[in-house]
Amino acid sequence: MDKNPFIYDLDIPDLSDLLKSWGEPAYRTAQIWSGLYRHFYNSPSEFTNIPKSLREKLESNVRFNALTPDLRQSSSDGHTIKTLFRLPDSQVIEAVQMDYDRRRTLCISSQAGCAMGCVFCATGQMGFKRHLTSGEIVAQVMHYARQSHAQGERVTNIVVMGMGEPFHNYDNTMAAIDRLNDPEGFNFGARRITISTVGLVPAIRRFADEGRQVNLAVSLHAADDETRVEMLPVNKRYPIADVLDACRYYVDKTHRRVTFEWALINEVNDSPETARRLATRLKGLLCHVNAIPLNPTTGYSGVATDRGRAEGFRAVLQQAGIPCTIRMRRGIDIAAGCGQLAGAASI
């Protein structure tokens, strides 16, 4: 495998050091950074604002294409695009663009596969392959940003909810977010980024201590440990009470709301009784419940809640003062919905 550094793995100090080692003036760093993140250049030849000799050095010593888009699928409604990327070591990941009225949201991956083993999630069913580098995370965003720019559009939201558990790959995920947030580069607002975790308690507390403006979503899916451990094995290590304590700590430290993700599974976690139990556990916590009928995967036999049961679940929560939204399902026909990404199955 090519040992040259991947351009999106470099932060400004890294890039500056590289250029300095080549005897280049300091201002070249800003030129290249701007070309990458503001003009969306994808190869050294596009950097016409720098000398040919420097373009040749970049071509010979830095990789610009560590993610190869192998497959692109569009949903039948035209609102969802899924891309399968091949990595240099032949691992594969998937990322999704979802278009709404005035929003263009990206769902990006942080790992190839996932070690959490959530039973209803296709990524969890495939197991863990490896962490993505920070640059591989960034590159997914830049792929779609480049396409949006060519269409006169722009990315409006990013959710780190694709393949993998972002907090299991904490350092690389945060480095990627910092790079995307950099005001001299892509300048993507932290409050338009959401990270979703299954509830890795130490990472939630670390995230809270860092005081970031990035949104936090926690995949909860059950109101009691017996049910949750059957769906999310990580609950054996971090039971619901510990997860919610960490969420309260997060709210106390940041004064920001937590979103709880809830896959509504027919006659598993969608009853009024479950909603009442959940409301009791969430009482007094600044939060919002984001519920979505389960998306189908081949490795799980559960089925989605129907609309009536979903509305009943929401009504109980709202009557108890817990805000709840029933999310729209998107991209189901191309397996691009939440819990459906599994790159290996697409080859």
Q: In a 3-state reduction of DSSP, which class is residue 108?
A: coil
If we measure between CA atoms, which residue out of 120, 130, 137 comes closest to residue 340? 120
Catalytic one among 107, 121, 247, 338? 338
Task: Establish whether 118 is a catalytic residue.
Answer: no
Tallying the residues shown for the chain, one arrives at: 347
DSSP one-letter string for 4-69 = SPBGGG--HHHHHHHHHHTT--THHHHHHHHHHHTS---SGGG-TTS-HHHHHHHHHH-BS---EE
Contact partners, residue 96, CB within 8 Å, separation at least 6: 80, 81, 82, 83, 106, 107, 162, 331, 336, 341
Residue 312 CA to residue 62 CA, distance in Å, equals 55
Distance CA 97, CA 115 (A): 24
Residue 159 near residue 196 (C-beta atoms within 8 A)? yes
Coil, strand, or helix at residue 140? helix
Distance separating alpha carbons of residues 232 and 263, to the nearest angstrom: 12
Lookup: tokens for 310: 């979903």
324 is catalytic: no
Task: Check 56, 59, 94, 184 and give the catalytic one.
Answer: 94
Q: Which residues are catalytic?
A: 94, 338
